[in-house]
Amino acid sequence: MKTHSVTPSEITHHWFVVDATNVPLGRLASTVAQVIRGKHKPIFSPHLDTGDSVIVVNAAKVRLTGRKLEQKRYFRHTGYMGHERFTPLSKVMATRPERVVERAVFGMLPKSSLSRQVLRLKLRVYRGAEHPHVAQQPTPLVLGGSATGRKA
């Protein structure tokens, strides 16, 4: 019996929309990471882009459990000795809540060039409920249930 290898012509891409209102950040990020990578499909192949596009709306209303809003800090380095910069999560949520969701999803992906490309092309995050991707006719993605969001 031969092993079937997926060809790019067999891959179909769909659009999903997720409402992040009152959803824990980690659960949202892990589900979105699986969908944009394509792990929810039976034709998943780690070296090909088999994933679907995901639109996350209401990123400002995502739920942060515990004391993350007070204690969590994002780290970056300028490149000079002793120049670490720490940004508190509360400041990022006040100014750019989309970045919080993007960084959480990035943390759930493997660190490879394909994953960075998939993150850039397949993930759209918006602060409010409006998004400009109505023409793609996105299907609602069910969190916690079926990863495809489709009815059986």
Q: Which CATH number does the domain housing residue 48 bear?
A: 3.90.1180.10
With respect to residue 5, please indicate whether it lies within any of the assigned structural domains. Answer: no
**Total domain count for the chain?**
1
Q: For position 152, what pLDDT does the model report?
A: 39
The confidence band for 3, taking pLDDT boundaries of 50, 70 and 90, is confident
The pLDDT of residue 143 is: 84
Please indicate, yes or no, if residue 149 is contained in any of the structural domains.
no
Please report whether residue 32 resides in a domain. yes
- For residue 131, is it within any domain? yes
In a domain, 53, yes or no: yes
For residue range 82-114, what is the model confidence (pLDDT) as tens digits? 999 999 999 999 999 999 999 999 999 999 999
CB 72 within 8 A of CB 26: no
Q: What angle do CA 117, 124, 67 make, to 5 degrees?
A: 100
77, part of any domain: no
Q: Return left, alpha or beta for 22; rule: phi > 0 is left, psi -120 to 50 is alpha, else beta.
A: left
Answer whether 90's CB lies under 8 Å from 76's CB.
no
pLDDT of 148 above 80:
no
84 inside domain: no
User: Are 126 and 55 in contact, with CB atoms under 8 Å apart?
Assistant: yes
For residue 102, what are the domain limits? 13-64+96-140
The model's pLDDT over 38-88, given as tens digits with 9 standing for 90+, comes to: 999 999 999 999 999 999 999 999 999 999 999 999 999 999 999 999 999
Q: Which of 14, 101, 2, 104 is nearest to 50 (CA)?
A: 14
Identify whether 72 is part of a domain. Answer: no
Per-residue burial over 101-129, b if 16 or more Cβ lie within 10 Å, else e, is bbebbeebbeeeeebeebbeebbbbbbee
pLDDT given for residue 151 in this prediction: 45
Q: Encoding tokens for residue 107? A: 């943390």
DSSP three-state, residue 47:
coil
Length of the chain: 152
